[in-house]
Amino acid sequence: MRTRGLWLLAILCAMLPLSGCWDAEELNRRAVVAGIGIDLSPDKKEYRVSYQVIIADEISGKTGRGGTPTMVYSAQGRSIMEATRKVSMLVPRLVSTAHARIVVISEELARQGISDIVDFLDRDSDIRLTAKIFVAKNGARAHDILSGLSAMGKITAYTLAQKTEMTSKEYGANYPVEIDDVIRDILVPNSGPIINGVDILGNVEDVRKQSNLEKTDALGILRMSNIAVFRGARLKGWLTEDESVGLLWVKGKLNKTSIVITPEEQGEITLDVRRSKTSTQVLLKDPEHPVVLVKVTAQLSVREMDSTIDLRDPATLNELEVYVNKEIRKKMKAVVDKAQSLNSDIFCFGQTLERQHPQKWKSLKGQWNELFPKLAVEYHVDSIVRNSQMRDRSFKYDLNKE
């Protein structure tokens, strides 16, 4: 009798853990956040945090009511976390940020400083460091960016993340910047992170309406924009498109891009960069004035030409290479000049110096903010035009002969 009672007790005890995980919150009780947007509140004292939440019913199709696939909820608070808690007043489910893939910060806030935001993103155990960061450009609020709808892919935040990946590979005026990149760069002395801009092409009001998707040329579309330069945690300025490409070249992040050159007495020739490699060296001929040497080797192919030159002759290709080298150098110089005028070592030349000459860095570290704006930078560009696609001469070559 006594053993039977003990058994019963044991079975009853076993029922407690059998109900499963204490922390379990089923998927249909969660609101999955795809993107986070952070603005300043209208009175500039608080944060306004917006969450792009995926509406699963609309994604799966059958149960949809014809609404938008995502919804944006926002709340205001003195910190990001407070605002997040307050969002529960609007959302019936547990706001779950584990799948957030983008974080958008408004330009106004970025100019004020992002260190508080970065700490939240770094510390939170749900948000992964792989989330991509953007700055909303041209007066767009982060809220507006998240409200946008896109024709390809139902979840705008994920589409934006894909756009970043794609344009980084194809055009090279952006490259994916993730949370940990920002944290590391803020901590580099006299440097700061670089963050991709994003803006709205078209009307802010139209881009958030479902009717936006009912025309072939959408009224509004989210566009990857140029790169924002920070110093410390504050936004200092924007790069132009050429400077952005130059930046990727200096940092060695470039995959593909196109270069248009106009050799003398010839029409425009467009070349594709297929592969490019950058190495940076710091030379210490004069110990007090280090010189940075940026070496680029690029492989190109001719894609388009409005010209009659004959590409069968290797000498012609060599001539083209000279123009290409000049063009690449021009882009790199533009961005270096810009960074020096903003006095932000976004290329991390300081770290290169530290890695190559650790002893010298110790003495120069203190004066780096005075040295960097006057730093001499040399460029060695060596490009090779590998091929000219399917034709060697243009059809115009024959046109001219007759």
Partner 1 sequence: METTKFSPLQFFSMLIMFQLGTALVVNLGMEARKDAWIAVLSGMIIGMLLYLGYAFLYTSFPDKLPTQYSRILYGKYVGWLIGFAYTVFYMNKASRDLMDGGLLVFASTLKETPLFIINTMMMLSIVYVLHKGIEVLARTAFILLWVVFLIGMTILLLVLFSGILDFTRILPVLSDGVQPVLKSVYRQNYQFPFGEIICFTMIMPFLNNQKAGVRVGLLSILLSGLILSATVVTTISVLGVEIAERSIFPLLTMVGKASIADFIQRMDILVVMVLIIGDFFKISVYFYAAVIGISDLLQIPYRKILYPLALIVLFSSLTIARTYSEHVKKGGEVLYMIDPLFYVILPAALIIAALIYRARSRRQAGT
Question: By the criterion CB under 8 A, which residues form the site for partner 1?
Answer: 17, 21-23, 98, 122, 125, 128-130, 178, 180, 183-184, 187, 354-355, 358, 361
Q: Which two tokens stand for residue 81?
A: 């976390």
Residue whose C-alpha is closest to residue 102's, from 173, 30, 153, 26? 153
Query: Long-range contacts for 204-209 (Cβ within 8 Å, ≥24 apart)?
Result: 204/140, 204/144, 207/144, 207/147, 207/148, 207/149, 208/144, 208/147, 208/148, 208/149, 209/149
Q: Compute the least distance from the CB of residue 164 to partner 1, in Å.
A: 12
Q: Compute the least distance from the CB of residue 180 to partner 1, in Å.
A: 6
Q: Compute the least distance from the CB of residue 284 to partner 1, in Å.
A: 15
Q: Compute the least distance from the CB of residue 165 to partner 1, in Å.
A: 8
Q: Which is nearer to partner 1, 14 or 315 (CB)?
A: 14
Q: Compute the least distance from the CB of residue 127 to partner 1, in Å.
A: 10
Residues 6+ apart with CB under 8 A from 135: 104, 105, 106, 107, 110, 195, 196, 197, 198, 228, 235
Q: Which is nearer to partner 1, 252 or 373 (CB)?
A: 252
Q: Which is nearer to partner 1, 24 or 89 (CB)?
A: 24
Q: Which is nearer to partner 1, 8 or 98 (CB)?
A: 98
Q: Which is nearer to partner 1, 151 or 187 (CB)?
A: 187
Q: Which is nearer to partner 1, 20 or 66 (CB)?
A: 20
Q: Which is nearer to partner 1, 61 or 358 (CB)?
A: 358
Q: Compute the least distance from the CB of residue 211 to partner 1, in Å.
A: 30
Q: Compute the least distance from the CB of residue 121 to partner 1, in Å.
A: 11
